[in-house]
């Protein structure tokens, strides 16, 4: 549960927000580097694109189910 709340908060702190990428943030630097590497655009499915998608809309239901499943297994193994 903590990861499902913590990861989006961390992504937001990097500068990936619902209003777009925050100026001067780590996200802005990542986007600039990705755009330079791809000839001026950010490729769909790239790390920057995925993080912005999460920052804007949060995790999809499928991602939440997958993370819950994976993290509960890790928690059970640690316990």
For residues 32 and 52, membership in a common domain is answered with no
Based on the fold, state whether residues 53 and 71 are members of the same structural domain.
yes
| Domain range enclosing 31 | 1-36
**4 & 32 share domain:** yes
Q: Which long-range contacts (CB under 8 A, 24 or more apart) does 7-13 make?
A: 7/54, 7/59, 7/67, 8/54, 8/55, 8/58, 8/59, 11/51, 11/54, 11/55, 12/55
pTM of the complete model beyond 0.75 = no
CA-nearest of 7, 2, 48, 45 to 25 is 48
Q: What is the pLDDT along the chain (79 residues), one digit of tens a residue?
A: 566 667 778 888 888 888 889 999 999 999 999 999 989 888 888 889 888 888 887 655 555 555 555 655 655 566 5
- Counting the structural domains of the chain, the total is 2
List residues bridging with 20 in a β-sheet.
17
Cα 71 from Cα 49, distance rounded (Å): 24
């Amino acid at each position: 549960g903590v990861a499902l709340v913590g990861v989006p908060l961390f992504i937001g702190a990097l500068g990936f927000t619902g209003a777009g990428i925050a100026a001067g943030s780590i996200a802005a630097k990542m986007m600039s580097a990705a755009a330079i590497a791809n000839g001026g655009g950010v490729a769909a499915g790239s790390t920057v694109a995925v993080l912005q998608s999460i920052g804007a809309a949060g995790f999809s239901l499928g991602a939440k189910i997958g993370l819950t499943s994976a993290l509960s297994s890790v928690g059970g193994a640690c316990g």
